[in-house]
Amino acid sequence: MILETFPVGPLQCNCTILGDEQLREAIVIDPGDDVSRIHRRLTERGLTLKQILVTHAHIDHVGGALKLKRLTGAPIYMNENDLPLLEMMGAQAAWLGLSTPETAPPDSVLADGQTVGLQNYAARVLHTPGHTQGSICLHFAPLRLLIAGDTLFAGSIGRTDLPGGDFDQIIESIQSRLMALPDETNVIPGHGPATTIGEERRSNPFLIGV
């Protein structure tokens, strides 16, 4: 298995490449920016991109998705509840003083409970609204791996003051969906260092005493 996570763009969104070394297939999660770098990594490793998965439609996570699709032909998957945010890309860019990336509606939706990913490395979609209404996490149970988007961070949680954000809802999503996972689950958040479900259960100040 190939698992590579690196920060992309000015907001340092964690982009992840998950690949199957035998079948030479890969998925990319959250290609927010630096698409030529992502594409170069795929090419260097001889991987064919099968899916582009977007945890939510904030510019720093989805900004490079269409460009990557054009380079590879891979379909874009996103939860439909974030379509309004996708349509606000100009406003999102203006908040951050960035130029507006070209976007297009997803080719496929990511619905709760759906299975996506690779034949040998499949993930279950967990719909975890709160940071945005269409935020999802990807749980690769056999790999003990959670890609958390901006729902859960090491020692923190996603902000809820942007359009579509809801503090009570993100806490409920984390408690009911993410804290239901085993302690040993490795978490790759949308920004910053990796953590585990057990570590966050013990020490995340947003989850203690809730």
Return residues touching Zn ion (CB under 5 A): 58, 150
The residue (of 50 and 58) whose beta carbon lies closer to Zn ion is 58
Task: Say which residues have a Cβ less than 8 Å from residue 195's Cβ, sequence separation at least 6.
Answer: 152, 153, 154, 155, 186, 187, 189
Tokens 């974030």 appear where?
A: 82
Closest distance to Zn ion from the beta carbon of 47 (Å): 26
The residue (of 91 and 141) whose beta carbon lies closer to Zn ion is 91
DSSP 17: E
CA–CA gap between residue 50 and residue 42 (Å, rounded): 11
Closest among 127, 136, 191, 134 to 163, alpha carbons compared? 134
The residue (of 33 and 150) whose beta carbon lies closer to Zn ion is 150
Closest distance to Zn ion from the beta carbon of 172 (Å): 18
Tokens 């490795």 appear where?
A: 186
Closest distance to Zn ion from the beta carbon of 61 (Å): 6
The residue (of 49 and 62) whose beta carbon lies closer to Zn ion is 62
Closest distance to Zn ion from the beta carbon of 162 (Å): 7
AA identity, residue 41? R
**Contact, 162 vs 140, CB < 8 A?**
no
